[in-house]
Structure 1
Amino acid sequence: MPTPADGCQGGPGAATVVGMDGKPMVTIGRWLHADVLPTAVAATVLIAGSSKAGKDQVPPHRSIDAAGYVLLALAAAGLMVRRRAPMAMLMLESLLVGGYLAAGYPHGPVFLTVAVAAYTVGLRLEPRASVVAAGVATSLLVTGSVVAVASGYADGGWTYVFTLTATVVVAGVPALIGALLRKARQAAALADEEATRRRIDQERLRMAREVHDVVGHSLSVISLQAGVALHVLDRRPEQAQVSLEAIRRTSVEALEELRATLALTRAERTPLTGLGRLPGLLTEVRLVGLPVETVVEGNLAALPAEVDLAAFRVVQESLTNVLRHAGRSRVHVELRLTAGQLTVDVTDTPEPSDLPAPLDASAGQPAPRGTLDRSGHGRSGHGLAGLRERAAELGGSVSAGPRPGGGWQVRAVLPTVTTALSGVTV
C-alpha cells in the first residue's frame, strides 16, 4: 500500500501535483479558475451565440462550417494567455477574428474576444504600446470587414457603415477603458504611498518630540543639580551628596523612559506615561530647589491616553524651561477638567536666590533672570513649538508668553471627554 512518502518520492508529475506544502495544488487551482474556466465559458458563448446569429445573417453571410467553428474555438483558446502575454493575445485575436470576418461568417459574440484582449492590453501595458496595439488590431478587423464586403458577404450602405464603426470601436474603446483604469490605479497607489510616507514622517516627528522632552528635561535637572553640588561642595558637602544622588536617580529614570520611548518604533501605540508620573516629576524639580504648587480640578484618571501624555509633556516642558531659563522662581501648575476640555496652566514668578543665574547658551555667560527667550522659536530651542504641534494634532492649542511684572505663563487647551468634577489640591 503506498504511503505519503512514496507519493512525495515519485516522478516529477506526482511531486508537482501533490506537493508536501500544498502550493502546487494551489497553483493548479488558480490556473483552472483564472484561465481554463473563462476559456471554456467563452468557447460555449462564442459557438452557441455565433450559431444563433447565423440564422438571422445568412444570407448574405455564409453559414458557419467546420473551419468557422475552428476559428471560434481558437479565438476562445487565446484567452488563456491574457495574463501572461496580453499583447500576443490581442494580435492573435485580431488575426483570428479578422480572418473570420474576411471568410464571410456572420457577426456575433466573436468580437468579445478582441474587446477582452484590448482591455487587458490597456490595463497592463504603457499607454503608447496600448495605442499602437489597438491601432494594429483595428486595422486587421477593418481589413477583414472590407474583404467580406468585396466578396459579397455583407450588406452595403448604412448597414456596412454601422458594421465598420462597430469594428473600429470594439478594439479602441476597451483599450481606452483599460488605460484609464490603469492610470486610476497608479494614482491610487501613489496616494497610498504618499499617505504612508506622511505617516512615517509623523511618527518620526512624534518620536523626536518624545526624545526631546525626555532628554531635555533630564539633562536640565542634571545640570541644575550639578550646579548646586559645585556651589555647596566646600561649605555643605552633605547637600552636595544629595544633589549627586539626585543626578544618579534622574539619569537612571531618563534612560528607562528613553528605552521605553524608543521601543515604540516596534509598537504603534501611545507611551504608557502621563499625568500619573506628575508626582515624581514634582518631587524631582522640588529637589532642585524649585517650589511648585499644583492644583487639580477634575478626575484626570479617565483621560484619553493621547491627552494624558500631552498634558504631562506640557507641564514637564514648562518646568524644564523654568529650570533652564528663569533661575530661582515659584511655579504654579493648574489642571482644570471642564466640559469637553482639559486646561493646563503653568506660571512662574521670579524670586531672589543665591544660586547662579541661568546661562544664555548663545552668549556663553549668565543672563538676567526672566530675559531669555522661552517661545520655542528662537535660539533657545523648540520645546514649546513641539508642544504646539502636539496640541494641534489633538485639536487643541498651546500659548506661551511673559507675564506682567515678570515671569512666564504657558497655557494648553486640549479637547477631551468630561468626567465627574471634584476639587483637589496637591
Structure 2
Amino acid sequence: MLHERLPFYSATMRRDLPYALSGLALGGLLLGNAALAPDAAPVGAVDVALVLAMAAALAVCRRYPVVALAVVTAAMLALHIRVHSGVSAAFPVLGVVYVAAWRGRRAAAAAASLAFLGGFLARDVSVAPVDRPNQLIAERTALLLGWFVAANVAGLVGRQRRAYLEQVEQRAIEAERTREEMALRRAGEERLRIARDLHDSLTHSISVIKVQAGIAVHLARKHGDEPSATLLAIQEASSAAMRELRTTLDVLRAPDDDRVGLARVDELAERTRAVGVPVQVTVTGRPRHLPDDVDQAGYRVIQEALTNVARHAGPATAHVHVEYAPAGLTVAVTDDGQASQARPPTPGVGLRGMRERVTGLGGTLHAAARDGHGFGVRATFPLDEPA
C-alpha cells in the first residue's frame, strides 16, 4: 500500500519544492538583513520561529494559498514589529499574494495586502522619532503599495493567461476530434459510394457471366455432352468472384461500430475450413483489451493471410498464432503450401495493404517464404504496458 501511494507524494513534493526553496532563501535573507541592519533589534528564538513558520507556509502556498497568506502575513508583521527588519519583511508576503491571486483567491490576496500595509505603516509611525521626516515613511509606504498592487495584478494576469492557454488547448482538442469525426464520416460515405458502384456495375457483369456459363453447362449435359474444362472453369471462377465480391461489399457496408476483432478469429477459421483449408488456431498469453484500431488490424491481417492461403498455397494447412504480451501483440499465419524460397510469391495488393495497415499503427510486418516450403506472415503491434 505504501508503494502505491509513493508516486503521489513524490509528485506533490516535486511541485512544492521550488516554493520550499524560495521560503528558505527568503528566511536566510530576512535573518541576514536583521543581523546587518543598524536600526534592527537583536534576533531571538521567537524571531527564528517566525521565519521558519513563514518558510513552511510558503512551501504549501500552492495547495493552500489562503492558509499560507494568513500565516505569512501574521509572521512577517510580527517579525517587523519585533525586529524592524525593514521592507525585506514584505518580500514573502508579496510572493504569497501573487500565488493567491494566481490561484483565484483575489479577495484574500487583497485583504492580506491591506493588512500588511496597514500594520507596516502603523509600526513605522509609532516608532518614528520626532525629528524623522514623515516624507520618508510616506515614500516607503507608497513603494510597498506599488509592489503589492503589482503582485496582485501580476497574479491576475497569470491566472487569465493560464485560463486562455487551457481554453486554446481545449479548442484544439475539440477541433481535432471534429476533424476525425468528419474524416470518419467522409470515409463511410466513400465506402458506401464504392459499394453502390461495385454492386451496380461489377456485380451485374459477373452475375451475367455466371448465369450464362451455368446455362451453357446445363444445355451441354442436357444433350448428353460433357461440358468443356474451359466452360467449367469459367463457371467456377465466376462463382468464386461473386462470393468474394459479396464479402467485399459486406465489409464496405459494415458500420464503424460493428468492427471485427481478434475475438472473432475462430469464426474466421471456421469459414476458411468451410472452403477446404484446414486451420489451426493457437492463442498464447493472457487476452486483454486492445485499442480498436489494433484489434481490427490484427483481425484483417489474419483474414488476408488466410485468403491468400486458400487462393495461392494449394493443398495446405494454415496455422494461426495470436500472442498477447505486456508490451505488444503479435499475429502470425503460416502454411505448408507450395511457396518456396526458390519461387517466392509476387507481393500483391493484399500484402501491400497489410503492410500499410500495420506500419500505420507503428508495427512491423514480415512476410516471406519459409525454409523448405510454405509461406509465413507475422505482424507485431506495440502496446502500452497494462496498468
Percent identity between the two aligned chains: 12
Alignment CA distance shift 1:150-1:112 (3 Å): closer
Number of aligned positions between the proteins: 251
Q: Which residue of 1 aligns with 2:185?
A: 208
Residue 217 of structure 1 aligns with an amino acid whose one-letter code is I
Alignment CA distance shift 1:253-1:235 (3 Å): closer
**Alpha-carbon distance in 2 for matches of 1:212, 1:27:** 47
**Alpha-carbon distance in 2 for matches of 1:217, 1:37:** 60
**Alpha-carbon distance in 2 for matches of 1:153, 1:257:** 89
**Alpha-carbon distance in 2 for matches of 1:103, 1:256:** 83
Alignment CA distance shift 1:233-1:260 (3 Å): closer
Task: Map 1:17-416 onto structure 2 (within 5 A).
Answer: 19=2, 22-30=3-11, 33-35=14-16, 38-39=19-20, 42-43=23-24, 45-58=26-39, 61-103=40-82, 105-125=84-104, 129-130=105-106, 132-153=107-128, 156-224=133-201, 238=215, 248-256=243-251, 266=293
Residue 183 of structure 1 aligns with an amino acid whose one-letter code is Q
TM-score with structure 2 setting the length: 0.52
Q: CA deviation at 1:257?
A: 5.2
Aligned partners of 1:98 and 1:142 also within 8 Å: no
Residue 293 of structure 2 aligns with an amino acid whose one-letter code is R
Q: CA deviation at 1:51?
A: 3.3
Q: CA deviation at 1:221?
A: 2.8
Aligned partners of 1:137 and 1:171 also within 8 Å: no
Residue 201 of structure 1 aligns with an amino acid whose one-letter code is T
**Alpha-carbon distance in 1 for matches of 2:58, 2:135:** 32
Q: CA deviation at 1:228?
A: 6.8
Alignment CA distance shift 1:147-1:66 (3 Å): farther
Q: CA deviation at 1:116?
A: 2.0
Any idea what the Cα deviations from partners look like across 1:112-156, whole Å, max 9, x if unmatched? 22122112212222xxx41x2222112211221222123225854
Look up the SS of the partner of 1:151 in the other structure. Answer: helix
Aligned partners of 2:20 and 2:59 also within 8 Å: yes
Alignment CA distance shift 1:40-1:194 (3 Å): closer
What runs of 5+ residues in structure 1 fail to find an aligned partner? 1-14, 273-300, 309-426
Q: CA deviation at 1:98?
A: 2.6
Aligned partners of 1:64 and 1:106 also within 8 Å: no
Aligned partners of 1:63 and 1:106 also within 8 Å: no
Aligned partners of 1:226 and 1:243 also within 8 Å: no
**Alpha-carbon distance in 1 for matches of 2:126, 2:75:** 18
Q: CA deviation at 1:95?
A: 2.1
Ranked by relative contact order (alpha carbons within 8 Å, sequence separation 6 or more), the top structure is 1
Q: CA deviation at 1:161?
A: 2.2
Any idea what the Cα deviations from partners look like across 1:328-362, whole Å, max 9, x if unmatched? xxxxxxxxxxxxxxxxxxxxxxxxxxxxxxxxxxx
Aligned partners of 1:121 and 1:178 also within 8 Å: yes
Q: CA deviation at 1:171?
A: 3.4
**Alpha-carbon distance in 2 for matches of 1:202, 1:34:** 35
Q: CA deviation at 1:86?
A: 0.6
Task: Give 1 or 2: higher helix fraction.
Answer: 2
Look up the SS of the partner of 1:143 in the other structure. Answer: helix
Q: CA deviation at 1:48?
A: 4.6
**Alpha-carbon distance in 2 for matches of 1:206, 1:37:** 45
Q: Indicate the larger mover: 82-91 or 33-42.
A: 33-42
**Alpha-carbon distance in 2 for matches of 1:173, 1:224:** 75
Any idea what the Cα deviations from partners look like across 1:78-117, whole Å, max 9, x if unmatched? 1133132111211222222233334461225432221221
Residue 36 of structure 2 aligns with an amino acid whose one-letter code is K
Q: Which residue of 2 aligns with 1:327?
A: none
What runs of 5+ residues in structure 2 fail to find an aligned partner? 217-234, 261-290, 301-348, 357-387
Q: CA deviation at 1:53?
A: 4.7
**Alpha-carbon distance in 2 for matches of 1:33, 1:245:** 66
Q: CA deviation at 1:74?
A: 2.0
Q: CA deviation at 1:233?
A: 11
Q: CA deviation at 1:30?
A: 4.6
Residue 93 of structure 1 aligns with an amino acid whose one-letter code is V
Q: CA deviation at 1:164?
A: 0.9
Q: CA deviation at 1:67?
A: 3.5
**Alpha-carbon distance in 1 for matches of 2:99, 2:7:** 24
**Alpha-carbon distance in 2 for matches of 1:29, 1:246:** 63
**Alpha-carbon distance in 2 for matches of 1:54, 1:255:** 86
Q: CA deviation at 1:180?
A: 1.6
Aligned partners of 1:102 and 1:147 also within 8 Å: no
Residue 196 of structure 2 aligns with an amino acid whose one-letter code is L
Alignment CA distance shift 1:186-1:54 (3 Å): same
Aligned partners of 2:26 and 2:92 also within 8 Å: no
Aligned partners of 2:57 and 2:72 also within 8 Å: yes
Aligned partners of 2:34 and 2:41 also within 8 Å: no
